[in-house]
Structure 1
Amino acid sequence: MEPINKALNRVINMPSFQERYEKMRREILENEQVQKFLEENDTLVNKDMVERGLTTLHEYITQNPSCCGCDNTDYCTNNLNGFVPKLSIIRNSIEIEYYKCEQKLIEEERRESAKMISSMYMPKDVLRARVKDLLDNDSQMDVAELASRFIKKVKETGKLPSKGLYIYGPFGVGKSFVLGAIANELASSKIRSVIVFVPEFLSEMKQAISDNTLQDKVDFVKKAPVLMLDDLGAETLSTWTRDEILGTILHYRMAEELPTFITSNFDYDGLENHLANSQKGGVEVVKAARIMERIKATTTPIQMEGSNRRI
């Protein structure tokens, strides 16, 4: 029986194998990312190290070195779902280290937030939203411009502006989509946004009294780097939810100069009228004005028009 090492040598020395090997070797070494890595490490890398690292380099070029752009890491095309490869030199060898991609970081952030606030939500279309998508719709151009300015300022300065947006308009024009687009852009800069659907959130706060989690939940929301209140004005308000929940959250954010994004069917005046009318039928103008003062201090109003996307 022929020894295994002799059989392997015979296969390796076959012309067809050598041709395929040389072709693969050229593809690896001509890869733009590989060339960049070798140039950046030219004082550390030698020919022997490259030859020994060909298998590693091949593993690297068959993957996406940045986030592949899937909407869910379950569909990630890389070897490790939700991780991107990075070439490194470790103990005189070329190795691959894996790091969490943008999408995985976004998903982990959402899971952590959802553990605290169950009224957080993210519809499927919003999961894919990006600010550039808003530019394709004429009715969203103005809000897209303001959103782009906000994102640009964050990326240029590394700091959050003190004001978010108050986006108002009729049902179904895409206000929630705008919130998702901004949140996703911020997530790519590792900035956490907490999005809550206001009617469900206020109901959840009432239930939180019985399980002693109210203060933890309020603190989590009010201290979020970026808070997004979706559909404010659609809820049935009690004086408690208005003054002790909304009032407390908005007062904190105004005092700490934390940006807040709000969507509503009402403009400022309409929302103030809504806030003034309590569940029991009373009209409390002063308390509504106090809430509105905090909203105006933390947002810039922008109207959104267009056709109903839900029909």
Structure 2
Amino acid sequence: MDSVKEMMKQHTNHSDFRDKYQQIIKKVMADEDIKQFIFLHEDEITQDVLEKSYAKFHEFIKERDARINGKPVSSPGLEPVLQMNVGFVDVIYRPTAEFMRQQKEKSIKRRLHALNMPKNIAEATFAEVDITEQRAMIVAEAVELTELMTKEPKTFHQGLYLSGTFGVGKTFLLGAMANELAKNGFITTLLHVPSFSMEMKQAIGTGDVAEKIEIIKKADILMLDDIGAESSSVWFRDEVLGVILQYRMLQELPTFFSSNFTMKELEEHFRVSQRGDDEPLKAKRLMERVRFLAREMELTGENRRPK
């Protein structure tokens, strides 16, 4: 790019251009950001340096004002910054605060794998959790646990098993924990168990069962939502949930649950097969893994879902 001074030389005989040039210089020298920059670098900016830098000062003002006024800019997501170079002033471009915020949000979303979950759950935060006197202790426990996992990422932390009636906010609290962990750099998988059960049955026909189990069982942090609400299936209990939880128990991987059942009720649920057979040992074996991975906390309150 030719400097403003060089362009001036090429148009010496054009009085209109000289007038425009002087107007540009006047505007540049009256700009508060420019004056502040010159003041901060007065020892380096000689008259010669100043004259060589008019074009860069003009570029800075033009790009800055375009962003302020919402007009098209040469580098969206970047903002101009004046910088002292050897013998002249330069303009560099750095990410804007808004661009950095958007990139951070995208990064968080990439770390949170919400499978078959509503949008409001995938975007839940602790600030949005309804805290009542009865729920305060559980919410505080959830916040404390996420902080502890962040401080001690290599230590095994027993997750939470949130039990409670329909619509009291168990899933929302899991979502808030998942988002907080994602913000702190953890990859978290939030999985709706009934939908996953149906997906796994369909995967039998495509031969994808083993691959899907492999992905879920090795998730850095796994949150199993609404466990026990899936259709009763010995195969899903033993060959899917059992395999996933066995691996996570042996590897001591953080695992969370939510359910309308207490742990005791969930064990009773898993005892009876779809054929009506009573299988207490298999149910007990599965629940041993659940109890190793998480401790139960009951969430109480009113049904918050739309009627």
* TM-score normalised by length of structure 1: 0.73
Asked if 1:10 corresponds to 2:27, the answer is no
- In 1, Cα distance between equivalents of 2:128 and 2:153: 23
- In 1, Cα distance between equivalents of 2:79 and 2:29: 28
CA offsets 1:87-122 (integer angstroms, 9 cap, x no match): 898998644257672210133345xx57xxxxx133
CA offsets 1:199-223 (integer angstroms, 9 cap, x no match): 1101101111211211111111110
Asked if 1:104 corresponds to 2:99, the answer is no
2:71 aligns with none
1:257 aligns with 252
Matches within 5 A, 1:268-283: 268-283=263-278
* Contact 2:28–2:34 under 8 Å retained in 1: no
1:216 aligns with 211
CA separation of 1:289 and 1:12: change in aligned 2, threshold 3 A: same
* TM-score normalised by length of structure 2: 0.74
Q: 176, 188, 192: which one pairs with 2:183?
A: 188
2:72 aligns with none
- Aligned identity (percent) is 33
Matches within 5 A, 1:287-298: 287-298=282-293
Question: How large is the Cα RMSD of the aligned pairs?
Answer: 3.8
- In 2, Cα distance between equivalents of 1:86 and 1:17: 15
Letter in 1 for 2:60: T
Q: 135, 156, 167: which one pairs with 1:172?
A: 167
**Any stretches of 5+ residues in structure 1 without a counterpart?**
30-37, 64-77, 115-119
1:68 aligns with none
Q: 213, 223, 232: which one pairs with 1:237?
A: 232
* Contact 1:131–1:147 under 8 Å retained in 2: no
1:55 aligns with 60
Q: 162, 169, 180: which one pairs with 2:157?
A: 162
CA offsets 1:246-292 (integer angstroms, 9 cap, x no match): 00000000000001110001111101000111111111100000000
**Any stretches of 5+ residues in structure 2 without a counterpart?**
1-12, 69-74
